[in-house]
Amino acid sequence: MYGAFIGDIVGSKYEFNNIKTKDFPLFSKGCDYTDDTIMTAAVAQAIMLSLREHDDSRASGKGFQALLVDVMRDFGKRYPAPLGAYGTGFAQWISQENPRPYGSYGNGSAMRVSPCGLAAVTLEEALASARASAAVTHNHPEGIKGAEAVSAAIYLAKCGKSKAQIRQYIGKYYYDLSFTLDSIRQTYQFDGSCQGSVPQAMVAFLESESFEDAIRNVISIGGDCDTTGAIHRFDCLDLLCRANRIAKWQHRPGHASDQIAGNDISP
C-alpha cells in the first residue's frame, strides 16, 4: 500500500493547483497525506480485524462491513484535519451515530480499495470485498463500479497478469481505456467521480514505464491529483515487475499459478 500513500502525498499539492507537465519535484514543500491515505489504512485495518474475527472463537461476531464502519469513523475522528479535508458528505457520515450510505459515486470508494485486491485470494473475493468496502458510503452503482475495477486490477497484477491483460479485462467489464493521456492532457479537468477519474488513473498506470513515471503521468493530466495518484499506482507497478521477472518460471506447464493467472479472465 506504500504506493497509494506515495501517490497521495505527491499529488496532494497539485489537487487544486494542477500542472500539465511531467517535469516537477516529487516531494516538495506543501506535500502531505490526505484523507486518501487515512481511509486506505482504515480498509486495511478492517480486513485484518475481520480475519482475526473469523479465527477467534471469542470474537464479537461483527462482519467486515461493520468493522469497516467502526474503523473508518475512528480514524476519521483521530485524524480530523488531513490536507484537503474530508468531503462534506463523508465528514457528516463520520460524525453520525448510526451512519448510513449516502448514494455517492465519488472516487473515494476507489481511492481506499487497494487493500481489498491485495488481500483477496480469488478474483471473486477481490470484487466482493470491493463492493462491501464501497457500499458503506458510496452505494451508487458508479461508486461500487469504481471500487471493483481498481480492486480487480490489483488482484490481476498480483497474479502476474500483464498490462495488456489488465487493460482488456477492465475494458470489457468496466471502462473504456482506449484513449491516451496525450489526447486528454490539455482538456482534462477536475472530476471527483469514479467514472471521471478511475479510467484516467488506470491509463496513467498502463502507459507508465516505472513507478515514478506512473506518478508523473497521473499528475501531468491534472484533475483530482491526490486521489488519482492514490488510485493509479495500484501496487501493480512493483507487482508487475516481480511477475515479469519470474514469468518464465511461474508459467511453466502444470504450474499451480495456471489456475489463478490463466488467460481466461472473467468476473
In angstroms, rounded to a whole number, what is the distance separating the alpha carbons of residues 119 and 25? 32
Q: How much is the pLDDT for 156?
A: 94
Cα-trace Rg, the chain: 18
For the chain, domain boundaries: 2-19+31-246
Residue with cell 507497478: 237
**Please, which residues have CB within 8 angstroms of residue 55's CB and are 6 or more apart in sequence?**
none
Provide the pLDDT for residue 238. Answer: 46
- Whole-angstrom distance, CA of residue 109 vs CA of residue 135: 8
Q: State the pLDDT at residue 9.
A: 87
pLDDT along the chain (267 residues), means of 10: 80 82 90 92 96 70 91 97 92 96 95 94 97 98 97 92 94 97 92 92 90 88 61 49 42 39 47
Q: Angle at CA 116, nearest 5°, toward 113 and 121?
A: 160
Secondary structure of residue 29 in the 3-state scheme: coil
pLDDT for position 18:
83
Write down the pLDDT at residue 7.
80
pLDDT at 10: 86
Give just the sign of the alpha carbon dihedral 172, 174, 180, 184: positive
Distance CA 167, CA 23 (A): 26
Write the CA distances from 33 to 83, 94, 142, 260, integer angstroms. Answer: 6, 19, 26, 35
CB-count burial class (<10 Å; 0-12, 13-18, 19+) for 189: exposed
Grid look-up 481511492 returns: 111
Q: What is the pLDDT of residue 242?
A: 45
Q: Is the Cβ–Cβ distance between 183 and 262 less than 8 Å?
A: no
DSSP state at residue 137: T
CA dist list (Å): 259 to 62, 123, 227, 256: 32, 12, 33, 6
What is the predicted pLDDT for the residue at 240? 47
Specify whether the CB–CB gap between 96 and 133 falls below 8 A.
no
Q: What letter does residue 193 receive in the DSSP assignment?
A: B
CATH T-level assignment (fold) for domain 2-19+31-246: ADP-ribosylglycohydrolase fold (1.10.4080)
Residue 42: left if φ>0, alpha if ψ -120 to 50, beta else—which one? alpha
The span from the CA of 79 to the CA of 153, in Å, is 29
Residue 38, pLDDT score: 96
Collapse the DSSP code of 61 into the 3-class scheme (helix H, G, I; strand E, B; otherwise coil) and give the result.
Answer: coil
